[in-house]
Amino acid sequence: MKEEIWQGMVQRYFEDLRIIERSQEDAREHFDQFCEFIIEPAVEALAGELKLRGIKIKTSREKYKFFHLQISFAQSKVDNFHYEISLPRNSLDLRLILKTSGRKDKRSPVGGEKEESFMPEVRPAEVLKLGKEEVIMDIINKLKEFNYAARTSPD
């Protein structure tokens, strides 16, 4: 009888490991879909609008890990604002992390790094249902927050 108990425990243990691995694989695949079908179209739309104002956007992406957006000062190649969405290592769902940072002016160093949950009001299961407009508004709001704080700080 005792042998059957521990054998069942071993079997459940390996099944639980398979469930964890599958959940992690699903999270990576969903993050990749999120970047490809939601983030990239949002950034392309925003880049078109900002280009009209002499502002350039550069992006980089590492599959299953992060999407990084860099906005430059107007008429400049100097980076002003960074917005990065990342999938935490070993994540089981789409609880994403947002890192922002930037520079006050063209000569100041990049600073003010802030790390927080990406759109904390959106449940992980709902992330793939976001529209590009919601992502664009989040980028603009974070850019505004950073620039307003940088322009009004006493130092």
**What is the average pLDDT across 106-123?**
91
Give the domain ranges of the chain. Answer: 2-152
Closest CA to 134 of 47, 38, 50: 38
Residue with tokens 């993050």: 31
Q: 155: pLDDT confidence band, cut at 50, 70 and 90?
A: low
DSSP secondary structure letter of residue 1: -
Q: Are 92 and 23 in contact (CB under 8 A)?
A: yes
Closest CA to 26 of 113, 92, 120: 92
pLDDT digits (tens, 9 = 90+) for 17-35: 999 999 999 999 999 999 9
In the chain, the percentage of residues whose pLDDT exceeds 70 is 99
The yes-or-no verdict on residue 101 having pLDDT over 70 is: yes
pLDDT digits (tens, 9 = 90+) for 130-139: 999 999 999 9
Residue 1: predicted pLDDT: 64
Amino acid at 24: Q
Rg of the Cα trace of the chain? 20
Rounded to the nearest angstrom, the gap between the alpha carbon of residue 6 and the centroid of all alpha carbons in its chain is: 43
In the chain, the percentage of residues whose pLDDT exceeds 90 is 77
Give the pTM. 0.89
Residue with tokens 């992006």: 59
**Higher-confidence position of 2 and 86:** 86
